[in-house]
Structure formats: C-alpha cells, structure tokens
Structure 1
C-alpha cells in the first residue's frame, strides 16, 4: 500500500497550532526554517509564515498535538516535531563521559541481542526492552556525543545486524541533538534507528550473509523486511508514528528510486530522510559479508556526492556538520606519519579535531596513547590530518587503549 501526503492549500490567516506545513508559496531558503516542512507547535512559527507568505500547503494527515509526550505505544496522530529550538551544550568532558557511554553501549548491545533473538524465535517484540536500551543511550549522547562515538567506534559486535541497530540509534540521537529537537523527539528517532531493520529477523540468515550478487527474486525477499518490520511493530503495539515512518521509509530515496513505495522528495517524512542517510553511512563504514568497510570520511563523501539524487541536499549537509569532516571515532593518518583516532570535534575548526596518537611515525603501536588538540598547536608545530583510515588499517587496534 502506498503512503502519500495529503496536501491542502490554505490561507496563512487560517493557520493553527498542530498543523504540519509541507509547502509554501515561496522557496524555503527565503525563510528561517532549517529544512522543508514545519510542525506548527509555536505561535511564533505561525507569525513568521503569516509575514512571509500568502498561502501555504498543509499535510492533512499530519497533526501535531500540543504537550503530548511521545512514547512507543502512542496511537494518536502525534507527528515529528521538526523545530530546532533546543540548544544542547556538552555537560561532560569526553574522558569523564566515556565510562558512562561504554555502559550505555554495553547495555544497548546486550538488550538488542536478546531482543533480536526473541523475535527470531517467534516471540513478541518487547516495548519495555526497547525503552531500556534507548533511554540510557540518548542520555549519554545528550551529555556528550563525542564520548559515545569514540567508544562506539572502538567496540563492534560480531553481528552486523546488532551493531548496525545500536550505531544507527546513536547516530539518530546525535543528529537530533545537532538539529535542536526536544528530547522526546530524539528518543523517537533513536528508537526508530534501533528498530528499522528488525524485520530482517524474519528473513533467512544465509540470504543476509550471502557474499555474492543476489537474484531479483532474492532482492525482493530482502526488501520484504520493511513489511515484516511494520508487522512486528504492530504485533507489539508500537504505534509511535515517527518510529513507524522510519521503519517504513528509510529505504526510500529522494529521486524516487527507493522502496517499498517509490516515494520521492518531501513525500518521504523527514525522519525517514534522516535515517536513510544514517543507514547508508553506517552500512558503508561497517564490514559486510560482500565487501570491506570504507572509512567514515569516505562514507560521508559518497553520501555528499549523492545529494539531491539519493538524499535531500539540506539534510546531507546538516548530517556532515553534525559528524564533522573526520567523525569522532575515526582512524586518521597525520602529516607526521602517525596513526591517531579522533576523540572530539573542534566546532570552530572542523579540520583540526582533538585526537589520540596511537603509533609512531613508522606505524609501530605505542604503549600508551598521546592526546593532542590539533587546533592548539602553533604554526611551528602544526600537524595536519592527511587522510582517513578504515578500521584495521596498519593493524592498529585502538580498542586496547580505551576499552
């Protein structure tokens, strides 16, 4: 069944709180709204639209109840609140938050292992277990996204499905934090990231792990995981529409080339657009049965090259700003020849993050890491990042320094 928006043109004088504006009578770039599509949860947003526009188009299927907390089991018409009104400052240094981030990661990994096992065995998806996995993860990302991604980049589960679910959940939380969404909206994003591929538990494992090219009929089976995922959420009573949107649309693409419904442009909910980028990014930078991983920076470059074809350009650009040129947790090679791992971003100079040096200039592992803030080095001692590395390059095991 195709899911489409139901546009209705109205005069701006008739705008009310709770409406979702999906199109304007002028370019979105001429407005202060970050991306196309705005949920009217503030009178100030209505005032802005009434000053700038004469008429707008609302999505009649999207209603945004006021003061309605989001939860996995809500079955009303609560929608994704895309207002960038919250500013998050780091509440803890990377070094201080890292132990809590590690605990949140281990907690989420253990829960998702058990949750996927339950579903694979035919048992019902546990809403309570999803909450228990996602809440601590969101909390640590809100305190310090850098700390979580440093730890997450060092610890990978043996199962791609499990690690991909946890990584996408955390990436969704970080992206929502960057965009200034409220905490409950970030929770919905993170829960959607955790569950968006849960339908793959209903597919043959040998097909998921097959290292070669798949026949068209096998591709159709793989794509059926979307319908399986929606069915599993329905059986569990998960009715949060943002989570359902993510599961349903994270494989749709900006140019209409995705699946299952071939949606294009803004017919794809913003949550699906965001998680589509996150899904692609983590998949490219993770080891798969049919190919080796590429570096996180290379994955970002490939996603950027596909902007306005596979993914909306504005969302891609915000994702790149969120992660930085060299994402936290990335291995990099310095102009000195040393191998380092990115520990934290410098918001002022994205090309010069804080790093931990892990090797000598001839790539021999150090006994202990050496932290360096590249932005603080003077001109005489300036060190640059010359290229990004994939996990395992030069045989440097960064996890032994931090885990």
Structure 2
C-alpha cells in the first residue's frame, strides 16, 4: 500500500481510532514509521499511549471511510510570507489573547442561550419578565465587545438549526452591540440594545409550532399568523419591569420599513428611530445567514447583496453601508476559500485592510482533504480570498474548527 508523508495529518493520540492509517508518531519529535499501517485494535492504541506518544500522523485517504480525523490546532503555525518573519511573535501573542477571549465569548454565548431559554419559558408560563438578570448579562457582553469583538462574532457565527430561535435572539443582541459600538453609541445605549435584541422575538413563543417550524414557504394566512408575534410581544413586554424605550423599540420595530409597509404599526421614515432602523438591518442579516428548517443559510456576501437591494425603501441605505463596514466584507466567523484552494474561518479582522484578515485554514478543496490547521495572515501573504463559502455548501463540517 503506497502513501506519501505529505498527505499525512497530525492528530492528538486521544483522537486516534481503529481504522486510521498511521504513518508517523511523535513523543518529542516526529518519527516516520517504516511499518506504517491501519490501527486494528484498541490494544494497539493503548500501547502507543503507554509508550508516551503524544501525536500521530494519519493518512486520510488510506484510513477507513468512517474515520473522523480532527487535525491538531497549532497556534504557533502562522503562515507569514514576503520575508516578514518579525511579525510572528506579535501574531502569536495576539492568537493567545484570542484564545482567552474565545473561551470567554463561548461562555458568554452559552449563558445568553440559557437566559433566552429561561425568558421563553417564563413567557410561556405567563410569568412577568425581570430585566435585572438580562442587564447583568448585557454588561458582560458589552465588556467582551470592547475587549475583543472578533471573538464574540466568531463564536456567535456557530449555529445549530434546531435551536434557531435562541441563537437568532443572541446573535441579534451581539450584532446590535457590535454595530452600536461602531457607530459610537454610549455603553448605556449598547446595554439597552442588547436587552432589546435578546427579547426581540419573544412573541414567537405564542405562535403555533406548525407555522413556526414549517419546512416550506408560509401561505398568506400563515404569514399573517406569524406577523402576530409582534402583537404578542407588545402584550408581553408591557409587564416587563424596568424595560427602557430603546429596548422596547428594538423588540417592536425590527419589522418596520421606511416606506411604511412594515408591521405591526406601519411606521415610516423618521417615525422609526436610529435603534429601530438598526434592528431592522441586523434582524434581516442574521435571518439570511442562518440555516432554518425550510432554507439553507447563505454567505455573508450574498446577504449583503440582499440588504443593499432593500434600500432605500425598506432599509436605511446609510446604515446598511455602515453595517457592512462594521462587520467587514468577510465577517469574523464566516468561511472563505483562498487562492491556493484552502478553506478556513475568518478568525481576526483587519480594520485597515478588510480584504486581508487572518484566516484559520483547515481543509483543502484542491486536494479534497483536511490539512494541518494554520493561521494565515493575508496582510503578509501573496494569497487572497477567492470567495465566501456558505457552510452548507462546504464538503466537510467546519464546526470543530470554531473551538
């Protein structure tokens, strides 16, 4: 059986499984095996572990088809071209900082989903919502955005279609705060935006599940029923203690349109305040890029085109352009394909050069296999982004590489 060492992928010994084709091992350094072959038993794996092997290299093509191979993520492996090796320590420090913020953001998002679920449960049970707990979470989230908004965006970009309502509420809250910070709004207003975002779809708890989860386009009658979630929301938030006008407007205005053809009140033009217009943009963007039971999520680039097509009659054109500028043509957390065929997650934005972010590469479309995880800084590379990639169109599951 023929294999090439360059086709091998480095994985942790803990991820080694039966059926994988091992070509090399590492205790303190890599040793290529003369007797390379497939792992046939758990005993073989245990022997490697007992002998102190920390990593192994496996050939994906020669491994059993059912094997799930998870490449080792090596933070130090930063690709820097054009001879600018002096930038490596700086990027490494930045990467370590991102790791810390990424873990914090992950905890924050998990807390937010738990909070959103609690709010939905309380609403379903007819209990009065309290703002205090949401405010505490909002304070933490705003601090995270000011420290490293990229980390929060990257975590919030990871979605599961079976928990759409929770994730959409949390994502809208995060995006509103990020957008508000970009516009220079005060921290107090950012907190109110976060609270409004996390409760903005609270009325959907009263919508019939058959309509809410329908895996097809709604009929005109079903759509009219869906629109009632705003009526329900108004009733629900009337009893919320301490809710600000900004939070209330975000909740009740995210379906209004500048031409007056939105709902529930048919507001138009200047009747819709800044935070109401912001919520319209953010709500549509997140809905377009989310995977639902009835549709696949689209790439950010495709979503931007639709947002622009909705100006100036439905959406505020100036705010749409500012929103695109805020999160970038290739937002943190989105998936892109590079000019060498590798695919990766936009990991860190570059405010001075939005088309040259740092990309966490993990797969090659050219060779149709996983590659060693590496951070590619496009600002110091001859590579460029060829196109944005919708997660559902990718041949492999990108979720493990968001960690």
TM-score by length of 2: 0.73
Q: Which residue of 1 aligns with 2:297?
A: 293
Question: Cα–Cα, structure 1 residues 131 and 239, in superposed 2: closer, same or farther, change >3 Å?
Answer: closer
Which has the greater radius of gyration? 2
How far off its partner does 1:364 sit? 3.8
Which residues of 2 match residues 4-403 of structure 1 at below 5 A?
A: 93-156=97-160, 158-362=162-366, 364-366=368-370, 368-377=372-381, 382-403=382-403
Q: Secondary structure at the match of 2:375?
A: strand
Assess if the C-alpha contact under 8 Å between 1:357 and 1:369 holds in 2: yes
Cα 1:220–1:157 change in 2 (3 A) is closer
- Change in 2 beyond 3 A, CA 1:385/1:330: same
State the 1:237 CA deviation.
2.1
State the 1:346 CA deviation.
0.9
Extract unaligned runs of 5+ from structure 2: 1-93
Q: Using the alignment, how far apart are the partners of 1:93 and 1:313 within structure 2? A: 36
Change (3 A) 1:112 1:239: closer
Aligned equivalents of 2:332 and 2:344: distance in 1?
11
SS of the residue aligned with 1:397? Answer: coil
CA distance in 2, matches of 1:158, 1:144: 28
CA distance in 2, matches of 1:152, 1:309: 29
Report the count of equivalent residues: 309
Note the alpha carbon deviations across 1:35-56, whole angstroms, 9 max, x for none: xxxxxxxxxxxxxxxxxxxxxx
Moved more, 382-391 or 393-402: 393-402
- Superposition deviation, residue 177 in structure 1: 0.9
Offset at residue 149 of structure 1 (A): 0.9
Question: Per chain length, whose mean CA-contact separation is higher, i.e. which structure has more relative contact order (CA < 8 Å, sep 6+)?
Answer: 2
Task: For residues 12-44 of structure 1, give each alpha carbon's deviation from its aligned partner in whole angstroms, at most 9, with x where no partner exists.
Answer: xxxxxxxxxxxxxxxxxxxxxxxxxxxxxxxxx
User: Normalization by structure 1: what TM-score?
Assistant: 0.73
Distance 2:368 2:123 in 1: 45
Aligned equivalents of 1:369, 1:260: Cα separation in 2: 48
Residues 234, 252 of structure 2: 8 Å contact kept = yes
Instruction: Summarize the Cα distance change of 1:230–1:368 in structure 2 as closer, same or farther, 3 Å threshold.
Output: farther
Q: CA-atom RMSD, angstroms?
A: 1.9
Once the two structures are superposed, residues 248-281 of structure 1 have per-residue CA deviations (whole angstroms, 9 ceiling, x without a partner) of 2110112222111222222111111001000000
Given that residues 108 and 137 in structure 1 are in contact (C-alpha distance below 8 angstroms), is that contact kept between their aligned partners in structure 2?
no
- The 2-side partners of 1:254 and 1:392 are apart by 33
Distance 2:279 2:167 in 1: 16
Helix, strand or coil: the match of 2:162? coil
Deviations 1:200-220 (A, max 9, x none): 111111111112333333222
Whether the 8 Å CA contact 1:339–1:363 is kept in 2: the answer is: no
- Give secondary structure in 2 for the equivalent of 1:347: coil
Q: In 2, distance between residues paired with 1:93 and 1:180?
A: 25
- The alpha carbon displacement at 1:155 in A equals 4.7
Which segments of 5 or more consecutive residues in structure 1 lack a partner in the other structure? 1-89
SS of residue paired to 1:357: strand
**What is the CA distance between 1:93 and its match in structure 2?**
4.1
